[in-house]
Amino acid sequence: MNPVRQSGRIPARALHGTVAVLTTCGLLLTACATIGPEQTSARLSPGHAPQGAVGTASASPVPPGLQRYYGQELHWKTCPGAPAFQCTTVKAPLDYAHPDAGDINLAAARKKATGTGATRIGSLLFNFGGPGASAIDGLTAAPDAYASLNATYDLVALDPRGVGHSTLVDCGTDTSTAATDSGASTTSTDQEIQAQAAAWAEVGAACARHAGRLLPHVGTLEAARDMDLMRTLLGDEQLHYIGWSYGTYLGASYAELFPSRVGRMVLDGAVDPSLDAASQSLNEARGYQVAWEAFPADCAARDDCPVGHSVKEASRTLDSLVAWLDRSPLQQGKVITIDGETVLQMTGILLRAPSWPALRQMLREVLAGHTTTLLKVLVSALPGNPGDQSLTAVDCLSSTLGPRYTAGQAKAALAEFVRVAPQFGKSWVSSLTSCTSWPVPSQQTAHPITAPGAAPILVVGTTRDPATPYNEAQALARQLQSGRLLTWDGDGHTAYGRGSACIDNAVNHYLLDGRLPRAGMICTDAPDNANKPVGTAPEAPTPVGMRR
């Protein structure tokens, strides 16, 4: 689905995306699969780690019923369009609890370590976020971005089930109109919230028709089991992992299921798994408000600031612009309409980057009735239709990811959302009904993740991260018994690979040498965004955000 092509609007959940970036993310297992040989039940509860994988990584027996998956041989071939990488397909059970129910395909890519022998640590698995975004595309987009890590690690990307090049959640073309109708709102009236709830219900019904067999089996916990299958097939005793945004939730889920198998793990732009989806939405709305209020502080020092030099001035200008465009939208050609919500969502995307010059330029142009920069951001932000469907399918299996408010509950929450986020609160309310009518119930309950027995886990938080606010990184680091928090006093979504030498060095030292940064370490260096034009590619692939 690609609603922006038709209407100029993005579903509310896509606001949590960024330029080539999109955006959040629970855990108590209620319907899980057999993983370890010591489990007498066909279900596995978090915190009860399986003790035996197989292959070169372990001499323990294969989990019951999964021999053919754990014993398969991987056949690597040069990736089409990415000659520096090798690609393969992994067979995984559709349902770990019932391995005879059929297979799904998991796509993987790797770049072999440039070092050999004693210098090689093993494989480093990447997940750039989402859910719904391809890890393979994220890693292969910048083949030299992680050269220092590639000297000692095979760099590996595994597209989660239902996502990217793996067996994909495909809900058919009849979700496009419904998705357009479920776009965010700047007014959130009773009628509008009811209409959005109905539109989300249409999306769920379409997914049930076209992908009903797959929908119950694309949750985060099953994706974590797939990562352990991949670890075994790669021949590693432990999983070394770096995850951004939603990828932190996936990594924490793995640590809860398999604490003894955690190697060097970095979770950047962390999600608090103890929050339910409505609390996550409220926290993120607050995070975007914090990011918006940081923009005038930067703008005040520049001669070309189009919105004033204080938070009050800037907020008044943005509000007036949004209201004006809602009354008199700008029509771009025959199929694209630029209304207030479009501007608000593109503003949110640029706050995630962050790209203050592009944001100044976009607002200046739109105030004059022009949309050149806005359209550039709009096109670069479009995730493509498969990711949208996968995002919803994964979200709705988790009570931390997928909000299930009724229309009446969403309307009742409006005042609080607007109070904490005057500019962005209404947009978040429009997503609170996104999973209410989803055909598969939530299978993961929000709760703290402690992962007792896991190796040290490095949690990275950015103080003005709009999509995964800093307090969530603090919370996850406290929850994990082996958690260590590294802070970047900066702007934008996630920290590693965004231009802070302090952050990059600390993360690299941990991944390469096993040395954690000192407790309470705060990095204050910041990249210079002053001359970065819109559309400039980052040095490393921009981590994909979570659903918001």
Q: Which residues contact 513 (CB under 8 A, 6 or more apart)?
A: none
CA 99 to CA 66: how far, in whole Å? Answer: 7
Instruction: Provide the 3-class DSSP secondary structure of residue 471.
Output: helix
Distance of CA 394 to the CA centre of its chain: 11
User: Could you tell me if 431 and 184 are in contact, meaning their C-beta atoms sit under 8 angstroms apart?
Assistant: yes
The reply to whether 430 belongs to the active site is no
DSSP codes, 165-207: TSSB----GGGHHHHHHTB--SS--HHHHHHHHHHHHHHHHHH
Read off the tokens for 525: 């260096």
Dist. CA 133–CA 381, nearest whole Å: 12
Contact in structure between 429 and 454 (CB atoms under 8 Å) = no
Which amino acid type is present at position 466? P
Active site residue 279: no
Both structure tokens of 248: 């932190």
Token pair in block for residue 39: 């489990």
Which is nearest to 339 in space by CA: 3, 2, 19?
3
The active-site residue, picked from 95, 159, 395, 465, is: 465
Burial of 304 from C-beta contacts in 10 A (0-12 / 13-18 / 19+): exposed
58 is catalytic: no
State the Cα–Cα distance between residues 343 and 469, nearest whole angstrom. 22
The catalytic position among 159, 493, 500, 504 is 493
C-alpha–C-alpha distance, residues 249 and 252, integer Å:
5
Q: How many CB atoms lie within 10 A of CB 194?
A: 16
Q: Within 10 Å of residue 384's Cβ, how many Cβ atoms?
A: 13
Q: Which entry of 58, 176, 185, 245 is annotated as an active-site residue? A: 245
Read off the tokens for 58: 């372990």
Q: How far apart are CA 438 and CA 370, in angstroms?
A: 39
- The residues annotated as belonging to the active site are 245, 465, 493
